[in-house]
Structure 1
């Protein structure tokens, strides 16, 4: 069993840290809202810490899952940041969906301080985190990955090293590109079915068993038809992720026209007041256009 720290106890981090504790690891936690860290410690038997640095001290593995690049820098750098007390030979694992640029920046800081850095964004959403079945895409050194992979397995169904630092984040970008196109296509298909007078639920049931089937259709098709969007991955988060994708696409010269268009469609959803709706709420935009 390992000594672990977990920084960031949002909808993903809270259950991820819980799985570490449930598997017998010693876990110290930090959260910007201290009451959440205290609640986690009371529930799981770990230790709530006042700063990221305090949480990281003495840990073999330091895990982090926060909002964006700036949040990540704020909990890693500076006197109270985790890097100030992360020990030599420790492994810092960042589960934030962030830019490849910040991953490389922090990896250089970590290397200078004598510990390893792995960028390890996840896919699977809140349900995946709660059920311990996330997919984890990693970038970093093989030796560091080999050390931490068995611990990541506490909350993952799949974990793979994709390449050097930054490769985890770029793989997550591919994931979000694919999701954006799928959700828009599913929204158009279901809206079309409604306009054509078809039973949408019957349509989903039959076509999900053929070549059109996808995770989005199986898990979101019926809730989209029922106009239910108060769960899952929020539009605001998806727009943050797609902003990262579009910036990286410009950097590497990749054409992502559908992704750019869907990003604007998500902005329309935000303008409708749907920033916290699930990403499958793209269909509401189509319904509004049809009226």
Structure 2
């Protein structure tokens, strides 16, 4: 079978999903796409995707369906609806690839439920943001047994620069939880460094340039340099989403019975960000929280995050 003849379904054409589906088209795949938003669906059509009227049409047309949705409740809603993925009597779908960031615990439970209905679940969350989605350089972390992994690998390689099977179902999402813990911890460390530099009279842009040239450099620093140095909290990655992901870290820690003191502290900080109504801002907005600029919630932050005026 040639690549051009292979059909894959794609549901969820948001800021990352649309370029991911587009990259599948560019790789020669026949993509049948669906999205609740009509403009996004029309954009997918303009990019070369075939468009479907509902999820059931996608499931009837192809054996492999990819979802790029915010969380498992959205995936589950598309499975169970009257026009959902499990609805068509002649359903072709037998493999569901969940590429959004979801709970490792819950995706394993979903996989168990769907096995009885003839559907294999592969969890394959990504890291790399909108830029990585557009460039096809995402890091894809996969949870699957070897056979389904081999089956979906060509699709994943069309969207990612690094694709790695981490273990059975749920392992991809656990890897993403680890990734998000490092991202959140790094963001808080950078925000604290900027705050300390400000209070000490340093030029914060110069500080971040120096950090980027040494051992402290990271992709987080590269992507958040402007946000932190200019206090520009226009969202590229909303703080609310990172808080959701940190909840999955906590779920996994409870499931594995491991203590993660840094995760506890960072989760508390991002919960305070959300409580102050800042969840729609960029996840670097934790700097604004640490500055104590907001009246509500800041006094509840544990002592190490209080600053002297």
Instruction: Give your verdict on TM over 0.5.
Output: yes
Asked if 1:288 is matched to 2:257, the reply is: no
Whether the 8 Å contact between 2:10 and 2:21 is mirrored in structure 1 is yes
Contiguous gaps of at least 5 residues in structure 1: none
Q: 2-side partners of 1:197 and 1:133: how far apart?
A: 39
1:179: Cα distance to partner? 1.1
Whether the 8 Å contact between 1:124 and 1:135 is mirrored in structure 2 is yes
1:115: Cα distance to partner? 4.1
Q: 2-side partners of 1:218 and 1:32: how far apart?
A: 33
Whether the 8 Å contact between 2:69 and 2:75 is mirrored in structure 1 is yes
Aligned to 2:57: 54
After TM superposition, the structure 1 stretch with the greater mean CA deviation from structure 2, 164-173 or 222-231, is: 222-231
Q: 2-side partners of 1:76 and 1:167: how far apart?
A: 22
Q: 2-side partners of 1:45 and 1:208: how far apart?
A: 39
Q: 1-side partners of 2:136 and 2:258: how far apart?
A: 33
Whether the 8 Å contact between 2:235 and 2:283 is mirrored in structure 1 is no
1:74-93 correspondence to structure 2 within 5 Å = 74-85=77-88, 86-87=91-92, 90-93=94-97
Q: 2-side partners of 1:48 and 1:93: how far apart?
A: 19
1:76-225 correspondence to structure 2 within 5 Å = 76-85=79-88, 86-87=91-92, 90-225=94-229
Q: Which runs of 4+ in 1 moved over 6 A?
A: none
Asked if 1:253 is matched to 2:237, the reply is: no
Whether the 8 Å contact between 2:97 and 2:121 is mirrored in structure 1 is yes
1:96: Cα distance to partner? 1.4
Asked if 1:33 is matched to 2:63, the reply is: no
Whether the 8 Å contact between 1:126 and 1:233 is mirrored in structure 2 is no
What SS is found at the alignment partner of 1:57?
Answer: helix
Whether the 8 Å contact between 1:139 and 1:167 is mirrored in structure 2 is yes
Whether the 8 Å contact between 1:87 and 1:115 is mirrored in structure 2 is no
Q: 1-side partners of 2:81 and 2:275: how far apart?
A: 37
Asked if 1:277 is matched to 2:281, the reply is: yes
Match of 2:70 among 59, 67, 71: 67
Q: 2-side partners of 1:100 and 1:116: how far apart?
A: 16
State the Cα deviation string for residues 135-168 of structure 1 (Å, max 9, x = none): 1100011111112112211111101000001101
Q: 2-side partners of 1:240 and 1:223: how far apart?
A: 21
Contiguous gaps of at least 5 residues in structure 2: 294-306
Whether the 8 Å contact between 1:62 and 1:93 is mirrored in structure 2 is yes
1:109: Cα distance to partner? 3.9
After TM superposition, the structure 1 stretch with the greater mean CA deviation from structure 2, 101-110 or 24-33, is: 101-110
1:102: Cα distance to partner? 2.9
State the Cα deviation string for residues 15-58 of structure 1 (Å, max 9, x = none): 111111122211111112234213321x2122221221211222
Q: 2-side partners of 1:22 and 1:127: how far apart?
A: 17
How many aligned residue pairs are there? 289
Q: 2-side partners of 1:101 and 1:218: how far apart?
A: 32
Aligned to 2:298: none
State the Cα deviation string for residues 241-264 of structure 1 (Å, max 9, x = none): 111221221222111222222222
Whether the 8 Å contact between 2:22 and 2:49 is mirrored in structure 1 is no
Aligned to 2:304: none
